[in-house]
Amino acid sequence: MTDNGSEFKKVDELELTSDEDGFLVYRTSLFYCDPMASWQKGCIEKNHEFIRYAIPKKKSLNPYNQDDITLLMNHINSIKRPGLGNKCPYELIEEDDEDFHELMRLLKMHLIPPDEVHLMPDLFIEK
C-alpha cells in the first residue's frame, strides 16, 4: 500500500510485465491509501524514507535492476526497529519456518550484519 506520490503514478509499469510471448502479466498489485488517511500506511513510510536515503527523490528508478533493489531491501530489512521490539524484520522469522526460509533463499533475501548496513547512494557502486 502506498500514497499517491509521483513515483507511483505509472501503475501499469509497476504492476505489469511482458512474458516470453509478449503478453502482459501481473507481477504485483499496487494499492493506494485513502486521501488524508496516513494511518493506513503504517510503517511503510519509514521504508520509503530508507529508500530515499539510497535513491534520492526525483531520481529515476529506471537505472536500477532487480539485484540493486534486492540489495537495497536486504539493507532496509536488516535495520532494527523500536516497533519490532528492537529487532529487524528478518529477525522476526521463525527459525523453523522452512517455507519462508526457502522463499527468502529464492528471492535472495538475507540479513546484513548491523555494522554493514549502508543506506547511501554509493550502496550501488561495485566494490
User: Quick check: helix, strand or coil at residue 25?
Assistant: strand
Within a 10 A sphere around the Cβ of 20, how many other Cβ atoms? 5
Question: Smallest Cα–Cα separation from 26: which of 38, 16, 36, 35?
Answer: 16
**What's the pLDDT tens digit per position in 22-39?**
898 888 877 777 777 767
Euclidean distance between CA atoms 1 and 31, whole angstroms: 5
* Cα-Cα end-to-end distance for the chain: 34
CB 49, CB 19: distance < 8 Å = no
**What's the pLDDT tens digit per position in 48-96?**
889 999 999 888 888 899 999 999 999 999 999 988 899 999 999 998 9
3 pLDDT band, cuts 50/70/90, is low
Does 127 have pLDDT greater than 60?
no
User: Quick check: helix, strand or coil at residue 14?
Assistant: helix
Q: What is the pTM of this model?
A: 0.71
Position 40 scores a pLDDT of 72
**What's the pLDDT tens digit per position in 87-126?**
999 999 998 999 999 999 999 999 999 999 999 999 988 6
H or E stretch at 101: helix 98-106
CB 55, CB 15: distance < 8 Å = no
Tell me which amino acid residue 50 is. Answer: F
